[in-house]
Amino acid sequence: MKRSIAAPGSPSDRGLGWFSRWLGAQAEFFRILRTVGWPPLDLAVRIGLAQGFFVSGVLKVSNWATAVELATNVYPVTWMNPVTAAYTGAAIELVGSVLLAAGLLTRYAALSMLILTAVVQSNYNATDSQLFSAALFGWYVIHGAGPVSMDGLLRRGLADSALPLAARIAALLGWVSARIGPIYLSAVRVWLAVALLVVGVQATLRSDLPLDRLQLWLPISMVQIWPPALLLVGALLLLPGLLTRYAAIALALASAGTAMAMPAAAMGILLFATLALLVMFGAGVVSADAVIGRKLRQIYPELEGKPAFALEGLPRVVIVGAGFGGLACAAALRRARASLTLIDRGNYHLFQPLLYQVATAALSPGDIAAPIRPLFRDSFNTRVLLGTVTGVDTARRRVLVGDKEIPYDYLVLATGAAHSYFGKDQWRPYAPGLKRIEDATAIRRRLLTAFEHAESTEDPAEREALLTFLIVGGGPTGVELAGAIAELARFGMEKEFRNFDPASARVILVQSAARVLPTFAVSLAKIAQRSLERLGVEVLVGSRVEGIDAKGVLVNGKPIVARTVLWAAGVMASPAATWLGTEKDSAGRLIVEPDLSVRALPNVFAIGDTASSNGWAGKPVPGLAPAAKQGGAHVARVISARLRGEPAPGPFTYRHTGSLATIGRKAAVADFGRVKLWGAPAWWLWGIVHVGFLVGLRNRVATMINWFWAYLTFGGGIRLITGGEVQPGAER
């Protein structure tokens, strides 16, 4: 049964809503922390645990006589021959450590190493580090390795394979992880809390409690370095399992600081890893946190991803466009008391700033695009529709998608921009622009086909035309395209052709303004132009394009024969203003009010390239990804305030975080106002920022790997000619 909903704007609704949002934000934080933080930490812990055992095993094998002597006299196993014991110990240390580090057969490797650790701890040399190692080994026995492991890669395939008993074993191991794992977490928590309590009480009372026997099973020495107050508070929270994650975070930070400050406390890293289990996975099933969590999930079912309220009768919010602005708005409204519909003509979110790298064969389309639906899998109030919007009926509040009508109470238009040929649309077939994945793959096909035809032709003039690449427009896209094409020709295709040298390709950048990158500082624009020229790019500034056809381009009355011409000179807004029939600027963007609502239509908002806003200290907001994201978040705040009956937030204010453009290897410019960077520092910053803006961990990892490989090998990337052959310069 769903709990009743107070009237929007009532004190009850605002109070419950605030607390529910806080709980949801807390749950989301720890979910993201576990998703992002545990895989690398799990890998580091496995490698760290394996390292000590591997070194010990290598020493035993390299000094076998000493190893047998130790097994005979120092730590004999009464029920095993000394030589057999030495072989067994060395095998566990060598084979088990390799398997554990690789995450292959992790449970079995960890079990053997746990047994070996327990034998050493109980019979020969008791240390705190072995206790923490045993606790971590026990976790791997029960839970297995994380996703960054061979087991993680093979788990699903093995469970669905034809191997005998594979499915049953996988099911059993899954049951152990799900049922025994939470109990084990509770046991680890209580074990650590008892150690904290014993040492804390002794330090507070300043008494000499007999701890010798306890040191065999409790990490007494390690926790003695902490202040008594921290010990007692930590014990009082961990013992019942109350606010366990926060207590573990505080103790983990203390252990990390101790490990760095005191060389003798290197075992603090193992303690840190043990506490990280509690941070990532919680207090376990036997805890106050678990009891409170179950009760809160009954009151707030949205914490489990279940509908917190019925959607019937709630305000309907429709967002058109899943670009940066649309996604930011939809993400901010995923917990709002509203029925949310996100419409886009593609089923993916595209990171447009890196389209030029797909066009120049540096990246695959899949590296810069992410499906939309998985992003909102857990947002019960959000549905995603694939379709092309053809109009908006503002009188009836309907969005027209083909022959369907989507009703709305609030409409957010985040439809982006298209290319503008300044009234010369006849140039479009000969000078394609770069706004969609289809554009990027078509340009890649044209570029690569030009090189292939240049190899096969015997006509020097035709080869020269084929190897001439002209880019119209010297903004960031044009500069990046020119630099990438020049690098592709000079480095990516080296020694691959026999009839010509790819480095002889001619790359021309035509800019009508007096300098490239006119929105950047003059000094950075000059640096960018010099960098382009060092790559061999011909930069024609103050030059006007007067004609484009299948043969080439007419620039300032002079014809330039070029089979490949690319357009990066201008953009125009989507037809959103035509749909609404309202006021627009010269670029077709909707004129919006300070809160980004469309004039005379207070329930319709426009963001990103669709809107003409002066929210940048009275200046027009630039068409950049950060501006779209900030606009989307602001509109979400405005709509949320209206839904709750609260005062509207202030007007939209764009916070400029800087402008970036890359030219080539180790060459980029970054303009942050007073702070300006260029060269290698700007190039690294450009890469970090662009990877950070990508949606999805897989996209970030794949892009970093591809960039790193191409950077080290001068590789040309994804040089595939797909979609059919295109004659350079011909109409598509």
Q: Determine which of 1-10, 27-36, 563-572 has the lowest per-residue pLDDT on average.
A: 1-10
Instruction: Check residue 219 and give its pLDDT.
Output: 85
Q: Please determine, for residue 730, whether its predicted confidence score (pLDDT) is greater than 80.
A: no
pLDDT tens-digit readout, 276-285: 999 999 999 9
In the predicted model, what is the mean pLDDT of the chain?
Answer: 84
- Helix or strand or coil: residue 693? helix
Instruction: Check residue 230 and give its pLDDT.
Output: 87
Cα–Cα distance for residue pair 555/532, rounded to 1 Å: 20
**DSSP line for 118-175:** HHHHHHT---HHHHHHHHHHHHHHHH---SSSHHHHHHHHHHTSSSTTHHHHHHHHHH
Q: Which of 114, 108, 281, 45 is nearest to 183 (CA)?
A: 281
Q: Please determine, for residue 64, whether its predicted confidence score (pLDDT) is greater than 60.
A: yes
The residue with greater pLDDT, 400 or 263, is 400
Q: Please determine, for residue 115, whether its predicted confidence score (pLDDT) is greater than 50.
A: yes
Cα–Cα distance for residue pair 52/35, rounded to 1 Å: 28
Q: Determine which of 395-409, 489-503, 519-533 has the lowest per-residue pLDDT on average.
A: 489-503
Instruction: Check residue 728 and give its pLDDT.
Output: 52
The residue type at 549: D
Q: Which of 96, 115, 89 is nearest to 49 (CA)?
A: 96
Average pLDDT of span 57-81: 78
Average pLDDT of span 450-479: 93
Question: What's the token pair of residue 130?
Answer: 């072995």
Average pLDDT of span 432-453: 91
Q: How far is CA 344 from the centre of its chain?
A: 21
Residues of the chain with pLDDT > 70: what percent?
86
Write down the catalytic residue from 458, 480, 533, 593: 480
Instruction: Check residue 256 and give its pLDDT.
Output: 67
Q: Please, is 7 exposed, middle or buried when counting C-beta atoms within 10 Å of its C-beta (0-12, 13-18, 19+)?
A: exposed
Instruction: Check residue 265 and give its pLDDT.
Output: 46
Catalytic residue flag (residue 480): yes
Collect all residues with Cβ–Cβ distance below 8 Å to 69 and sequence separation of at least 6.
Answer: none
Percentages (nearest 5) of helix, strand, coil residues in the chain: 50, 15, 35
Q: Please determine, for residue 714, whether its predicted confidence score (pLDDT) is greater than 60.
A: no
**DSSP line for 458-519:** --HHHHHHHTEEEEE--SHHHHHHHHHHHHIIIIITTT--SSS-GGG-EEEEEESSSSSSTT
Q: Please, is 524 exposed, middle or buried when counting C-beta atoms within 10 Å of its C-beta (0-12, 13-18, 19+)?
A: buried
pLDDT tens-digit readout, 169-185: 888 988 999 999 999 99
Confidence of residue 598 (pLDDT cuts 50, 70, 90): very high
Instruction: Check residue 677 and give its pLDDT.
Output: 80
Cα–Cα distance for residue pair 614/592, rounded to 1 Å: 9
Instruction: Check residue 7 and give its pLDDT.
Output: 38
Q: Please determine, for residue 211, whether its predicted confidence score (pLDDT) is greater than 90.
A: no
Average pLDDT of span 579-583: 90
Confidence of residue 698 (pLDDT cuts 50, 70, 90): low
Q: Please determine, for residue 220, whether its predicted confidence score (pLDDT) is greater than 90.
A: no
Q: Please determine, for residue 470, whether its predicted confidence score (pLDDT) is greater than 60.
A: yes
Instruction: Check residue 350 and give its pLDDT.
Output: 86
Confidence of residue 264 (pLDDT cuts 50, 70, 90): very low
Q: Please determine, for residue 23, whether its predicted confidence score (pLDDT) is greater than 90.
A: no
Q: Determine which of 103-107, 184-188, 361-365, 425-429 has the lowest per-residue pLDDT on average.
A: 361-365
Cα–Cα distance for residue pair 200/203, rounded to 1 Å: 5
Cα–Cα distance for residue pair 416/435, rounded to 1 Å: 10
Average pLDDT of span 520-533: 90
Instruction: Check residue 731 and give its pLDDT.
Output: 44
Q: Please determine, for residue 454, whether its predicted confidence score (pLDDT) is greater than 60.
A: yes
pLDDT tens-digit readout, 626-674: 899 999 999 999 999 999 899 999 999 999 877 877 786 667 888 777 7
